[in-house]
Structure 1
Amino acid sequence: MKCHRVNELIELLHPEWQKEPELNLMQMISKLAEEAGYEGQLDALTDDVLIYHLKMRNSGKDEMIPGLAKDCENDFKTAILRARGIID
């Protein structure tokens, strides 16, 4: 894992962990994995699962994932013109 991903994970994890300080680190990670719907072994849990779950944990059910929202076009015509390189 790269340093920036470690920093991002810690930055996202810190405020959520402060809400439940009685949990140790493994309990918190296990809880987050369960909330995210992860069913595998914890040692195979990727940082991506934790990062995206923490980013989306307190958002509405219908909200888009931040990485996808920036590329979303509400208008089909604009999306086609942008995909063809006609507009920026």
Structure 2
Amino acid sequence: MKCHRLNELISLLQPAWQQEPDLNLVQFLQKMADEAGFTQPLADLSDDVLIYHLKLRNADKSEAIPGLQKDYEDDFKTALLRARGVIKD
């Protein structure tokens, strides 16, 4: 599990960091933390915060959050009935 997360983080980090070649790694991580609104010490920054921030960094603000799109329903009534188990998949 940890290896998968490391590979995902590196694949997201590499192209973003290449756009900021004047920053060293710690400076770049601090910049990502600041952009994400993370106010705690950098040592407390989790890989989840970095992964989600890097995924959503250049995304359209009206776009659905990755992982939630699968649960999206156009109609509120359908969503409510599905959540209550009336409609089965």
* Secondary structure, aligned partner of 1:70: helix
The equivalent of 1:7 in structure 2 is: 7
* Secondary structure, aligned partner of 2:68: helix
* Secondary structure, aligned partner of 1:6: helix
The alpha-carbon deviation at position 86 of structure 1 amounts to: 2.5
Structure 2: 5+ residue stretches without partners: none
1:70 correspondence with 2:78 = no
The equivalent of 2:19 in structure 1 is: 19
Q: What CA deviation, in whole Å up to 9, does each residue of 1:11-69 have, x standing for no partner?
A: 11111011111111101100000000000000001111100000000011222210112
**Amino acid corresponding to residue 77 of structure 2 in structure 1:** K
**Amino acid corresponding to residue 20 of structure 1 in structure 2:** E
* Secondary structure, aligned partner of 1:32: helix
Alpha carbons 1:9, 1:51 under 8 Å: kept: yes
The whole-number CA distance in structure 1 between the counterparts of 2:34 and 2:72 is 29
* Secondary structure, aligned partner of 1:65: coil
The alpha-carbon deviation at position 10 of structure 1 amounts to: 0.4
Structure 1: 5+ residue stretches without partners: none
**May I ask how many residue pairs the two structures share in their alignment?**
88
**81 and 48 in structure 1: CA distance in 2 versus 1, 3 angstrom threshold:** same
Q: Identity of counterpart residues, as a percentage?
A: 65
The equivalent of 1:79 in structure 2 is: 79
- What's the TM-score, normalizing by structure 1? 0.90
Dislocated runs of 4+, deviation >3 Å: none
The alpha-carbon deviation at position 87 of structure 1 amounts to: 2.7
- What's the TM-score, normalizing by structure 2? 0.89
